[in-house]
């Protein structure tokens, strides 16, 4: 059952963490990602933050763009097709897999997980993508600017120009592709959590059996902790009544902890589904298989 937090003039929020509720809300035509500044104070502040942070050249990044945005939907479908491992086109190179497998194994000379994962994702958008401490820090800034609970930190990132510079750097590296900025600045953090989990599993020899590959991958697919919707009109939802401007938090991370499933992790089957839903488990699998295949003594180059 959803939980409402309503203080007149201050906040109007609905939160859902049960899988059936999330699916019902995600399909509800009254909820969208138009993110108009309306409703009580905190709602407006949260919406303004999304609008200020998750945009490129005045346009919202695809993960916060409205349902009826035809360009978003077209790009989502094109990217989904391009990232389909079944299509037969290589989605990663040898250097990428070796670096990630080395980072999972903690091999001497292996790069840190964050930049290695960012580079793997970045190369989907720019074949020559090279992650650096700067590009990884930029991803941290973008993520903090949208997720921090500290309004002073949010204001500092904005006013100091760090947010603008970080977004510019991320955008330049993917040749200005908005999906690439989302992927290398925001989505990559979910992937890194997965590789961190993989690193923990690596320490337990029982998981290193080829028979355990699928079970390992399942444990390493992490959903975003939450995604946001805004009611565009009043009405009754599966989690109670909403007014125009009510913010609805779909707590994917909590739902996934109870029952894993691609409909929760990637919103599969929904208009907002992640175009990397097939790519992510395939990459995790390729990295794990490499990690368990290389002899213990081998270092990464």
Q: Applying CB under 6 A, which residues contact ligand HEM?
A: 62-63, 72, 76, 79, 121, 124, 179, 182-183, 187, 190-191, 194, 222-224, 227, 252, 265-267, 272, 274-276, 280
CB of 48 to ligand HEM, least distance (A): 18
Residue with the CB atom nearest ligand HEM in the bound state: 274
- 40 vs 275, beta carbon nearer ligand HEM: 275
CB of 212 to ligand HEM, least distance (A): 20
Distances (CA, A) of 45 to 5, 16, 76, 125, 163: 16, 21, 28, 32, 17
- 187 vs 292, beta carbon nearer ligand HEM: 187
Interatomic CA distance for residues 194 and 199, integer angstroms: 9
Interatomic CA distance for residues 52 and 167, integer angstroms: 11
- 63 vs 166, beta carbon nearer ligand HEM: 63
Q: Is 51 exposed, middle or buried (0-12, 13-18, 19+ CB in 10 A)?
A: middle
Interatomic CA distance for residues 23 and 28, integer angstroms: 9
CB of 199 to ligand HEM, least distance (A): 15
Residue 40 CB neighbour total at 10 angstroms: 19
CB of 173 to ligand HEM, least distance (A): 13
Where does residue 21 fall: left (phi above 0), alpha (psi -120 to 50 degrees), or beta otherwise?
A: alpha
- 33 and 272 in contact (C-beta within 8 Å)? yes
- 162 vs 197, beta carbon nearer ligand HEM: 197
- 169 vs 284, beta carbon nearer ligand HEM: 284
CB of 188 to ligand HEM, least distance (A): 7
C-alpha torsion angle, residues 268, 89, 136, 35 (rounded to 10)? -30
Residue 42 CB neighbour total at 10 angstroms: 16
CB of 298 to ligand HEM, least distance (A): 27
- 202 vs 279, beta carbon nearer ligand HEM: 279
- 27 vs 209, beta carbon nearer ligand HEM: 27
Interatomic CA distance for residues 145 and 138, integer angstroms: 10
CB of 75 to ligand HEM, least distance (A): 7
272: phi then psi, degrees, rounded to nearest 5: -95, 15
Tokens, residue 99: 């670096």
CB of 208 to ligand HEM, least distance (A): 22
Coil, strand or helix: which one is 235? strand
- 283 vs 300, beta carbon nearer ligand HEM: 283
Q: In the block, which residue shows the tokens 């937090």?
A: 5
- Which residues lie below 8 Å from residue 225, measured CB to CB, with a gap of 6+? 251, 252, 253, 254
């Amino acid at each position: 059952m959803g939980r409402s937090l309503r203080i007149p003039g201050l906040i109007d929020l609905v939160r859902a963490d049960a899988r059936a509720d999330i699916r019902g809300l995600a399909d509800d035509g009254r909820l969208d990602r138009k993110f108009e500044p309306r409703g009580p104070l905190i709602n407006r502040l949260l919406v303004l933050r999304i609008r200020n942070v998750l945009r490129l050249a005045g346009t919202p990044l695809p993960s916060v763009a409205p349902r009826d945005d035809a360009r978003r939907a077209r790009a989502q479908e094109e990217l989904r097709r391009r990232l389909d491992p079944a299509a037969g086109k290589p989605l990663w190179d040898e250097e990428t897999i070796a670096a990630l497998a080395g980072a999972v194994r903690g091999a001497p000379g292996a790069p840190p997980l964050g930049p290695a994962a960012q580079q793997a994702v970045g190369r989907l958008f720019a074949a020559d993508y090279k992650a650096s401490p700067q590009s990884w820090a930029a991803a941290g800034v973008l993520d903090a600017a949208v997720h921090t609970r500290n309004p002073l930190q949010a204001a500092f990132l904005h006013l100091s120009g760090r947010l603008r510079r970080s977004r510019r750097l991320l955008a330049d590296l993917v040749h200005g592709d908005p999906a690439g900025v989302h992927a290398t600045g925001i989505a990559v953090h979910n992937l890194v959590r997965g590789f961190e989990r993989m690193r923990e599993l690596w320490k337990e020899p029982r998981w290193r059996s080829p028979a355990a590959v699928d079970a390992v991958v399942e444990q390493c697919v992490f959903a975003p902790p939450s995604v946001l919707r805004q009611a565009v009109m009043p009405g009754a939802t599966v989690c109670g009544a909403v007014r125009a401007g009510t913010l609805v938090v779909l707590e994917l991370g909590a739902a996934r902890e109870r029952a894993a499933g691609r409909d929760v992790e990637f919103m599969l089957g929904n208009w907002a589904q992640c175009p990397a839903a097939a790519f992510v488990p395939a990459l995790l699998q390729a990295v794990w298989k490499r990690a368990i295949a290389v002899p213990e003594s081998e270092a990464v180059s």
